[in-house]
Amino acid sequence: MLYFLKYVIKELELKLSPITLKRLERFRKNSLSYASFLILIVLYVVSLFADFIANDKPLVVFYKNKIYFPVLFFYPGDTFGLGKSDIPNYKELQKREPFREGSGNFMIFPPIPYGYNESLFFEGENPPTPPTLKNLLGTDDRGRDILTRLIYGYRISFSFALLITAAGMIIGVMIGALQGYYGGVLDISMQRFIEIISALPFLYIIIIISSSLGRSFWVLFLLFIMFDWIGISYFIRSEFYKLREMPFVEASRALGIGDGKIMFRHILPNALTPIITFLPFDLIGAIFSLSALDFLGFGLPPPAPSIGELIRQGMNNISSYWLSLFPAGFLFFILLLIAFVGEGVRSAFDPRDYHKME
């Protein structure tokens, strides 16, 4: 995986400018930041295949000389000798005499044979249960495997943060570019609008909207987008104010090039430094905000796996140390990796250090 990532990065370098190549080289030489970046990518790619790593549905079922893939497809109960309207419980099905006595019948489960919402009740134990060989990080207050919920929770949190960051960057860049390029009445009007949005209490907005529209992934996404673009718009606005008077912009105007092309083909490539340096820290803010909302009970609706929801369980079960220790430690580890990447990117793209590039 690491060699593949290095190969992709190396191939992309062929299309980048010499200055950008020097910046990337400086980032690569920062071993801590580069290693953190690779770890984050690997963890996220692994989480994308969580269904094949942790699931209560088998990867493969061989039944009556036929092969089934329950992890990919749904099969009705009558496929395995149950009622047509029954939803197969594969672990129970595996224990049934018809399946066990059948010639060559077998199931292959993922390495972690638990679903993220599957309640596990072992004889003589009441959830939450401490870490064991069966549950490496223990179970939560409903008997669900914590490691499984962390894997799925990380996938949701990181995907959510990436979507928010990308959408916020696009909106912030467009609004900041319009403000900085045109200035005047448009700039003043947009600044007053931004000040109004910034003054709105984020948590109260979440509570009000969630109570009327309900809690869901896309409702939270839209609410985050309302506020996330504001920070980057300030940076882009200032960059466009500075660059719009540069000689290459004046030359483009003299040649009759339209404002749209000047803004996004000539000025924007020269204003990418604040975007790239701001992005990792915006990612941290999005992940932490979602975890905080889940902790407060205003985030994703249950039973969606969430790091913040696990930490909240730890607050309600003080004696069950694993409910707080492992989710909080994992969240801290992920945010620390992103912070290392952000610091490396900031250092590599810092214009004050151009003279150090060799």
Positions in the chain short of pLDDT 50: 1, 11-14, 354-358
Tell me how crowded residue 297 is: count the other CB atoms within 10 A of its CB.
13
How far is 218 from 305, CA to CA, in rounded Å? 16
Instruction: Look at the alpha carbons of 350, 351, 356, 358 in this order and tell me if their dihedral is positive or negative.
Output: positive
pLDDT tens digits, one per residue of 102-144 = 678 889 999 999 999 888 876 567 888 889 888 889 898 888 9
Exposure letters 201-237 (e unless 16+ CB within 10 A, then b): eeeeebeebbeeeebeeebbeebbeebbbbbbbbbbb
How far is 321 from 149, CA to CA, in rounded Å? 17
- Which residues 6+ apart lie within 8 Å of 31 measured at CB? none
Nearest Cα to Cα of residue 228 among 170, 291, 186: 170
**DSSP code of 156?**
H
- Angle of helix 272-296 relative to helix 307-316, nearest 10 degrees, comes to 40
What angle is formed at CA 52 by the lines to CA 51 and CA 54, rounded to 5 degrees?
A: 65
CA distances from 203 to 157, 172, 232, 299 (A): 18, 21, 21, 11
pLDDT tens digits, one per residue of 37-85 = 999 999 999 999 999 999 999 999 998 888 999 999 988 888 887 877 8
Per-residue tokens: 283: 């990612």
Instruction: Look at the alpha carbons of 254, 260, 261, 264 in this order and tell me if their dihedral is positive or negative.
Output: positive
**pLDDT at site 158:** 92
For the chain, domains (ranges, CATH) are 147-356 (1.10.3720.10)
What are the strands, taking DSSP E only, across 70-183?
A: 106-108
Per-residue tokens: 177: 């570019």
Listing DSSP states for 28-91 in one string gives: HH-HHHHHHHHHHHHHHHHHHTHHHHB-SS-SEEEETTEEE-TTTS---GGGGTS-TTPPP-HH
Tell me the chain's radius of gyration from C-alpha atoms.
26
